[in-house]
């Protein structure tokens, strides 16, 4: 049995949260979607208590330090609740408007920006990206699994659609476990390619130049491999729009959607609202990742402070944003509404439909699962072994975050916590199951 620590006395923590939750939820709700009684949305208050039990147990077991959970249906929030601590060492409880590193939940925002420009007629999805980023022209493809760096010319160019669907042949360095992937990971390291999870010098345009100097993992369009493709799309947005990615996001997406807490980099006092990152300690519990600490494990490099310490010039379209549950719910509701929220239209319904259907053909990201233009898509819930409707789309982030949108149920779920590696108990996936079981109509 582990010695009792800061996680054990849940009674006092519950009392503290009881004092802050109401005001924090009111603040976050004012910034986010309107709230409603769960029963008015076909959701059971009694069954929503299972969400609390699930997350409280994970906190008591030191799987996470804290979390924020949000469930919305038919455009209104049925459940918005903070749990545990945002910063244990400083004694700061989690609040509904706590800011989180959302990492790869940045990708749908960048994909949205790309599709907004696509709707304006700037390019076709099957256009080669080299039309706008010449450094990525004439790609080469790695040919061997034995660690050699032999490469041949690719049969075709990388298209914008292949970048959106992660079928471009561009990988992540931290995916380099064996064979070709390990070779690519070493080449990425040698070229100074950042995965966007730590302090990074320069600008996102530098990434395209470096990626253009190394081979692809496979022939474009022939496989699925999650990677830096969406960071390249961030550079594409800059080239096509003539704006820095942060500027485009703020002016064209965040301000129109009233997402006031979503940024690449934070200034004081918002840094005080940023939850701490936790990593496993040597006794089976958690410890806080220090601001001056960078973790290097194999080809993986990450820190918890790159959003407020460092050069602040590298806008990672794949991993760079911070946000709140209420802010991100507004983004997801816009997609669920077919591209519009509160009278602001960013996309047409036909474009949203295109983004959320299978874009990878016979390829797969898992049983019953495909990938669209920015999201994974549950094509067959039975094969995937998950509740919900065909066409549900979702994704998550490096620091243990997750969202899903079910158009058939009009349902949105968001789970935000901050730890790496992600909890072994798959809490964020179990949250999805518990969210669905609360629907009773």
The residues annotated with a catalytic role in the active site are 104
Alpha helices in 314-412 (DSSP H): 325-336, 349-355, 381-384
Cis status of the peptide bond prior to 171, with omega within 30 of 0: no
Q: How does DSSP classify residue 415?
A: E
Mapping DSSP onto H, E and C, the string for the chain reads CCCCCCCCCHHHHHHHHHHHHHHHHHHHHHHCCCECCHHHHCECHHHHHHHHHHHHHHHHCCCCCEEEEEEEECCEEEEEEEEEEEECCCCEECCCCCEEECHHHHHHHHHHHHHHHHHCCCCCCCCEHHHCCHHHCCCEEECCCCCCCCEEECCCCCEHHHHHCCCCCCCCHHHCCCHHHHHHHHHHHHHCCCCCCCCCCCCHHHHHHHHCCCCECCCCCCCCCCCCHHHHHHHHHHHHHCCCHHHHHHHHHHCCCCCCCCECCCCCCHHHHECCCEEECCCCCEEECCCCCEEEECCEEEECCCCCCCCCCCCCCCCCCEECHHHHHHHHHHHHCCCEECCEECCCHHHHHHHCCCCCCCCCCECCEEECCCCEEECCHHHHCCCCCCCEEEEEECCCEEEEEECCCCEEEEEECCECCCCCCCHHHHHHHHHHHCECC
Tokens 């620091």, located at residue? 399
**Radius of gyration, alpha carbons of the chain:** 21
């Amino acid at each position: 049995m582990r010695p009792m620590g800061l996680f054990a006395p849940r009674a006092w923590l519950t009392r503290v949260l009881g004092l802050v939750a109401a005001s924090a939820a009111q603040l976050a709700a004012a910034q986010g979607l309107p709230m409603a009684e769960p029963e008015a949305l076909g959701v059971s208050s009694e069954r929503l208590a299972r969400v609390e039990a699930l997350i409280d147990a994970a906190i008591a077991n030191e799987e996470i330090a804290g979390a924020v959970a949000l469930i919305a249906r038919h455009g209104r929030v049925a459940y918005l609740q903070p749990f545990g601590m945002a910063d244990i060492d400083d004694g700061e409880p989690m609040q509904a408007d706590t800011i989180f590193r959302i990492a790869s939940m940045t990708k749908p925002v960048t994909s949205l920006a790309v599709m907004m420009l696509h709707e304006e007629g700037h390019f076709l999805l099957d256009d080669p990206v080299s039309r706008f980023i010449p450094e990525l022209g004439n790609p080469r493809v790695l040919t061997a699994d034995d660690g050699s760096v032999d490469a041949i010319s690719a049969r075709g160019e990388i298209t914008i659609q292949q970048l959106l669907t992660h079928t471009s042949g561009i990988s992540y360095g931290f995916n380099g476990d064996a064979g070709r992937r390990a070779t690519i990971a070493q080449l990425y390291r040698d070229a100074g390619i950042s995965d966007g999870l730590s302090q990074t010098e320069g600008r996102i345009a530098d990434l395209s130049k470096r990626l253009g100097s190394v081979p692809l993992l496979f022939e474009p369009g022939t496989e699925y491999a999650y990677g830096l493709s969406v960071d390249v799309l961030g550079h594409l947005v800059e080239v096509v729009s003539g704006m820095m990615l942060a500027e485009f996001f703020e002016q064209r997406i965040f301000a129109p959607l009233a997402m006031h807490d979503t940024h690449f980099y934070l200034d004081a006092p918002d840094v005080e609202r940023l939850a701490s990152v936790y990593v496993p300690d040597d006794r089976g519990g958690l410890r806080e990742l220090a601001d001056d600490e960078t973790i290097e494990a194999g080809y993986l490099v990450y820190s918890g402070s790159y959003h407020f310490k460092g050069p602040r010039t590298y806008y990672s379209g794949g991993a760079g944003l911070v946000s709140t549950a209420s802010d991100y719910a507004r983004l997801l509701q816009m997609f669920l509404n077919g591209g519009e929220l509160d009278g602001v239209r960013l996309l047409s319904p036909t474009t949203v439909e295109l983004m959320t259907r299978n874009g990878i053909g016979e390829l797969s990201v898992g049983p019953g699962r495909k990938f669209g233009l920015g999201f994974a898509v549950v094509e067959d819930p039975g094969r995937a072994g998950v509740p919900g409707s065909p066409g549900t789309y979702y994704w998550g982030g490096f620091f243990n975050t997750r969202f899903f949108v079910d158009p058939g149920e009009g349902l949105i779920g968001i789970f935000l916590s901050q730890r790496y590696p992600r909890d072994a108990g798959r809490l964020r996936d179990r949250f999805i199951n518990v969210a669905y079981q609360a629907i009773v109509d």
